[in-house]
Chains A and B, each alone.
Chain A
Amino acid sequence: MKAHVYVMLRKTVLDPQGQTIHGALRKMQYRGVEDVRQGKYFVLTLSDALALPEAQLEVERIAREVLVNPVIEEYTYRLEP
């Protein structure tokens, strides 16, 4: 089983990297891009010994305690069988 964890800056936190990418896209005349936010993407390969509810708990704990700084970031994840 794989866990796909997406970490993004909170909406209230300025993202200078995203803004810079957005600015570059505008200069390059790509059309219709209203905003860019940059984040991080983690893929955790989990042992088959973990049952689904356990895997969920463990991934949430890892995200909360390690992958995310809750002051500035938030996360979502999905499990892939």
Chain B
Amino acid sequence: MIPIEKPLINYMQMKFGVLVFPGSNCDHDTYHVISEVVGQPVVFLWHESEQLENCDAILVPGGFAYGDYLRTGAIAHFAPIMQAVKKFAASGGLVLGICNGFQILTESGLLPGALMRNAGLKYICKQIYLRTETSDSPFTNLLQPCQVLKIPIGHMEGNYFCDAPTLQQLEAQRRIAFRYSTAAGEITAEANPNGSLQNIAGILNEGRNVLGMMPHPDRSSEALLGSADGLRIFQSMVATLAGQD
């Protein structure tokens, strides 16, 4: 008998879920990138829901969830949907937090450390450069180690902080995914826009299935927007999920 080949289109379909909190404002940008640019099914998941609707990956978008009241991400992490996300992450599910999403993931304890007020106390919105510190993750496997990406930031609290033992652990386990760099990939104080410890722009959890990053790959997935470098991160996730199928 001739084996029936699984049709490629179904084989490659990965369902993404974009969380929506009151105050999220990059939810539609993120949804657009997945549906129109990456070309995968995507749904919005309301913060009061307790169901992830069988999504293969969860995206926590940027914005100002609950107005950033108390601390950025602090109220969001008590939302019913976050309890489901924690379970999903614990079972190895892919979770990507962007900007406010990164802040929510640290407040939730899914990622270590905290994001503090920028060292210069200003809201910074500009194109910056990142160096890929590891390609050994579901989010960076299509990137080369040390590959420089042009991806914008837009935040007031992106100043990454953690204590010395945590930093040591992040370094030893190669869990720093991205650092702020020059266009040539040098890690310098000048290239650090917000005072982040060791120029850290994005980190992985211990299981490497959760990534938080301050820069916005959702705002840099189409050349029309000035850079399509961020697209590789979403495509890496699809490649990972396809490999797991």
Contacts and interface: CB of A to CB of B under 8 A. Distances in A.
Contact of B161 (A17, A66, A71): A71
How many B residues touch the partner, as a band? 10 to 19
Nearest to B72: A69
Interface of A (DSSP majority class): loop
B195 A16 contact: yes
B161 A13 contact: yes
Contact of A20 (B107, B121, B163, B195): B121
A69 B74 contact: yes
Contacts of A67: 70
A66 B117 CA distance: 19
Interface in B155-171: 161-163
Interface of B: 70-71, 74, 78, 106-107, 112-114, 116-121, 161-163, 195
28 contacts: A12-B163, A13-B116, A13-B161, A14-B116, A14-B119, A14-B195, A16-B117, A16-B118, A16-B119, A16-B120, A16-B121, A16-B195, A17-B117, A17-B121, A20-B121, A66-B70, A66-B74, A66-B78, A69-B107, A69-B114, A71-B106, A71-B112, A71-B113, A71-B161, A71-B162, A71-B163, A72-B114, A72-B161
Interface of A: 12-14, 16-17, 20, 66-67, 69, 71-72
